[in-house]
């Protein structure tokens, strides 16, 4: 085995070791690059011209028009949450469905779907849903495991339901249209949310004590007023999301322009409802700036890593490895899904998108795999990984937002049925690609 075959996997292993040791991902990527540059100089085959490309690469990241959509969508979701509009949605829809068994669970899934479409940030959605809905569900007799399972699963819908920050980053890293990835993920995302709702109603029907109906004294006395409130609370944010998505799907606006419209629309909704306060605006801006800065730093670190990795011919090593697997495209898809699923236990989506995807995409393109379909499959896979015990990211977020008397094993027990639903939808997407490509087109 030559030195060319040793350095690339050693460099990749060094990055993972630094990340698992607790170093920030951006610094782990850039640090590993700096560690291996002297090695390349010592071995005498490192191409110095690659380092001259790095400043231009950083400026290209900052000038990437597609990535400019990221802070807009983060801002829109943060504003809807911090202004209390999300809480209004849950209370109102909970009142509407509360008289039926499992109604609160259905309300959580519906609001989770709307919040997912607005934010696409799993941690924010899971924590918000837990703080808002868990006390209500427990107060009215819902079981701990079922309640936490519904919340964790609903919060992860932001991976696949557009418009989503996750899908924007995926599209940028894979070199496909954001609009095509949005359209392609629409059917699987809505099918997933519907399957969650069907499961929740089935549990309530088979075991009423797990998800009881609201007691008569808690039910609305005037259904007319409730329906009017549903219209006033539900329609404005739903209309905003549909306008944002519709403008992208119709080609009227780019994702960045649509994101800017969504951010302004969220401010207007907060103002109309009397929730636009200086404190709310500052908190929203602060949260948006922090998350956007984190993403940009990871991007810069990943660019440095990619350049040095390429200097050791690591891109060719990975390409040969992945395209030479037994079974061709089927073998590649199996390995890609297993790798993304396992890495999803330990590192967040953005790290996977910036470290792993650039290694997988060239091989997928050479094997003739449709990249839009591949991107949606990866998003659903990651969503499943984030739900899977004992390391799923959504479970950690939920654990931090739940009372101490709820055991971690109860949370694990609650998410297992939703993991099975996820795996079923993932299998359907793999088995029947037109579920993605019918709307998304070929990528």
* Domain membership flag for residue 220: yes
Backbone angles phi, psi at 24, to 5 degrees: -55, 140
Give pLDDT tens digits for 170-217.
888 888 888 888 889 989 999 999 999 999 999 999 998 888 888 877
Give dist(CA 89, CA 92) in Å, integer: 5
Query: Does 305 fall in a domain?
Result: yes
At 119, the pLDDT band (50, 70, 90 cuts) reads low
15 falls within a domain: no
Q: Give residue-wise pLDDT tens across range 54-76.
A: 777 777 777 777 778 888 888 88
Percent of the chain scoring above 90 in pLDDT: 13
Q: Which domain covers residue 221, as residue numbers?
A: 20-440
The answer to whether residue 6 is domain-embedded is no
**Mean pLDDT, residues 72-90:** 80
Q: What is the predicted pLDDT for the residue at 406? A: 86
| Token pair belonging to 96 | 């509407």
- How many domains does the structure of the chain reveal? 1
Is 347:388 a contact under the CB 8 Å cutoff? no
Name the nearest CA neighbour of 79 among 301, 326, 277. Answer: 277
Share of the chain above pLDDT 70, in %: 92
Report if residue 419 sits inside a domain: yes
What does residue 430 show for φ and ψ, rounded to 5 degrees? -70, -40
Quickly state the pLDDT bin for 45 (edges 50, 70, 90): low
Residue 7 lies in a domain: no
Q: Is 167 a residue whose pLDDT tops 90?
A: no
Q: How confident is the model at residue 88 (pLDDT cuts 50, 70, 90)?
A: confident
Q: What is the pTM of this model?
A: 0.80
Residue 77 located in a structural domain: yes
Q: Which residue has the higher pLDDT, 81 or 153?
A: 153
Highest mean pLDDT, choosing among 1-15, 130-144, 250-264, 418-432: 418-432
> Which tokens go with 159?
């991976």
| Neighbouring C-beta atoms of residue 37, cutoff 10 Å | 18
Domain-located, residue 330: yes
- Rounded distance between C-alpha atoms, residue 150 and residue 152, angstroms: 6
CA dist list (Å): 90 to 107, 158, 195, 287: 6, 17, 19, 22
């Amino acid at each position: 085995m030559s030195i060319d075959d040793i350095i690339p996997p050693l460099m990749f292993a060094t990055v993972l070791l630094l990340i698992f040791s607790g170093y920030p991902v951006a610094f782990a990527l850039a640090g590993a690059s700096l560690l291996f540059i002297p090695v390349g100089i010592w071995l005498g085959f490192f191409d110095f011209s690659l380092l001259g490309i790095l400043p231009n690469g950083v400026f290209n990241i900052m000038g990437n028009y597609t990535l400019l959509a990221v802070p807009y969508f983060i801002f829109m979701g943060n504003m809807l949450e911090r202004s209390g509009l999300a809480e209004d949605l849950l209370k109102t829809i909970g009142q509407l469905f509360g008289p039926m068994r499992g109604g609160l669970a259905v309300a959580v899934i519906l609001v989770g779907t709307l919040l997912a479409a607005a934010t696409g940030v799993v941690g924010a959605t899971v924590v918000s849903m837990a703080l808002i809905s868990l006390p209500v569900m427990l107060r009215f007799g819902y079981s701990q495991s079922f309640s936490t399972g519904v919340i964790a699963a609903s919060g992860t819908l932001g991976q696949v339901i557009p418009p989503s920050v996750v899908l924007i980053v995926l599209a940028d890293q894979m070199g496909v249209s954001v609009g095509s990835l949005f359209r392609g993920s629409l059917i699987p995302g809505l099918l997933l949310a519907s399957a969650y709702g069907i499961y929740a109603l089935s549990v309530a029907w088979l075991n009423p004590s797990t998800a009881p109906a609201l007691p008569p004294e808690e039910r609305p006395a005037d259904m007319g007023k409730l329906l009017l409130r549903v219209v006033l609370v539900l329609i404005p944010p739903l209309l905003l999301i549909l306008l944002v998505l519709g403008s992208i799907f119709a080609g009227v606006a780019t994702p960045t322009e649509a994101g800017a419209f969504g951010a302004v629309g969220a401010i207007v909704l907060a103002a109309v409802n009397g929730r636009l306060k200086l404190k709310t605006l500052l908190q929203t801006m602060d949260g948006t700036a922090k998350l956007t800065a984190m993403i940009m730093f990871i991007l810069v670190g990943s660019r440095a890593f990619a350049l040095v990795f390429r200097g050791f011919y690591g891109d060719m090593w990975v390409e040969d490895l992945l395209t030479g697997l037994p079974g061709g495209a089927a073998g590649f898809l199996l390995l890609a899904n297993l790798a993304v699923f396992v890495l999803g236990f330990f590192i967040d989506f953005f790290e996977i998108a910036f470290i792993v995807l650039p290694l997988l995409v060239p091989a997928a393109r050479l094997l003739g795999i449709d990249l839009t379909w591949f991107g949606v499959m990866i998003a659903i896979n990651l969503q499943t990984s984030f739900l899977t015990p004992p390391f799923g990211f959504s479970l950690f977020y939920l654990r931090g937002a739940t009372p101490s008397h709820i055991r971690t094993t109860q949370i694990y027990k609650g998410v297992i049925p939703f993991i099975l639903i996820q795996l079923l939808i993932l299998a359907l997407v793999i088995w029947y690609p037109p579920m993605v490509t019918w709307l998304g087109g070929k990528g």
